[in-house]
Structure 1
Amino acid sequence: MSLFDFVLNLLLGLALGTLGGLFGIGGGLIAIPALGVLFGLDQQLAQGTALVMVVPNVLLALWRYHQRNRIELRHALALALSSLLCALGAASWAVSLDAERMRLGFVIFLVGLALYNLSRLYSRPAPVVVGLRYPWPWLAVLGSGAGLLGGLFGVGGAVLATPVLTTVFGTSQVVAQGLSLALAAPSTAVTLATYALHDHVDWLLAAPLALGGLLSISWGVRLAHALPERLLRVLFTVFVLLCALALGLKL
């Protein structure tokens, strides 16, 4: 890799890290379409390479969210442990699937997620509660579903968990994004290990992306706490639709 390529990839990592911090997703949701469109990687290789950036970004963003809004440990553990177990099985299955079908499935997932978030913009907002609307062990059910999704697509668990936490469990958007990062941290790590064992990671490409993400993700977290909650949801919906469009053009 030339110095010019390294700098370009570093700049891309800076942009992805900022978006990851802003939306509480570690940057992987947009990194996968970017790697597929800009670098021509197949779906599994794009997912595995993106995870090299996602794992450290998620850990740093989790720490930043915890500093600003303390994350309840038992809530985080219920999400994280159930997600970890399900992600391991889903990732082992995902590396053996057809790449084009995986890409189509990912596009469908993104469109569905965008439509769901769009419907929430025009529905009556659920009242925010102190604590959780339902007993905290129910978080393990959410963690299991999110772990399956995260293991299958490399990312996705956190973006599923965030709207469920706000709509079903009654948390604020910022608290939901922090808990979603706690859910994603162990599952993304085990998914990365699984993809790496099956040679679905381009480490040379991933290194500058990961460095750029680490340098910029705190900016996104700071911005997330400064923006109005409705605007944050609008931006997230637009962001997901753009990702789906970019990947859909590759099919």
Structure 2
Amino acid sequence: MTAIHILSGGAAQGLVAQLAETLKAQTGLGIEGEFGAVGLMADKLRGGTPADIVILTRALVTKLRDEEFVDPTSIVDVGVVETALAVRANDPKVTVKTGSDLRDALRAADAIFVPDIKASTAGIHVAKTLDRLGIADEVASRLRIFPNGATAMRQLAASDAKRPIGCTQATEIIATEGIVLSGSLPPGHELATMYTAGVATRAAHVTAARVLIELLTDADRSELRRRMGFSG
């Protein structure tokens, strides 16, 4: 089956999956591609990986536009995603209202599941937060780092640790069976990231890519975006 090709941050994977059948009905095309750390996805586009559409942080899409990898007339914001905490579905939720609460919660965990701490939006933020809290060295051996948040959350769901916790984009938590959104990060440690879509300048399916962007950002689908973890 012919498909449009996507390079996207993991934050948008659940929302894109919800729209795949509608896109196919409207264009006859499926969706193929990769969802992962935004920095790696941007580098793949720069390196020549075929793509019709990208969904990355606004900052990265703007940079790719300036580098002439994304059509400037196609760029539209999809919504804001917060970085949040996750626990297994049957574990007690962890509520953190202050930095001290967050430090205690992370110290109490015997495994901390996170995405790539060098290339993913949430993973980079986790690394900075651990430094800010002064516990980076203390919990280093308990970090369970995976290429993207979706993989990290699936591994959290399957974990046999006694007190595991996860931290990644809220959208990736919501889209993963077996775990639940435990709560937001506290003031001073929160992260809210705008995700933005654009058509690649070397797109083979420009019209279908624009249709997908319309589906992602349509006002009539604001409730779907909210349920999948997007706001704004």
Larger Rg: 2
TM normalised by structure 2 equals: 0.33
Q: Which structure features the higher share of strand residues?
A: 2
Q: Which structure features the higher share of helix residues?
A: 1
Higher relative CO (CA 8 A, sep ≥ 6), structure 1 or 2? 1
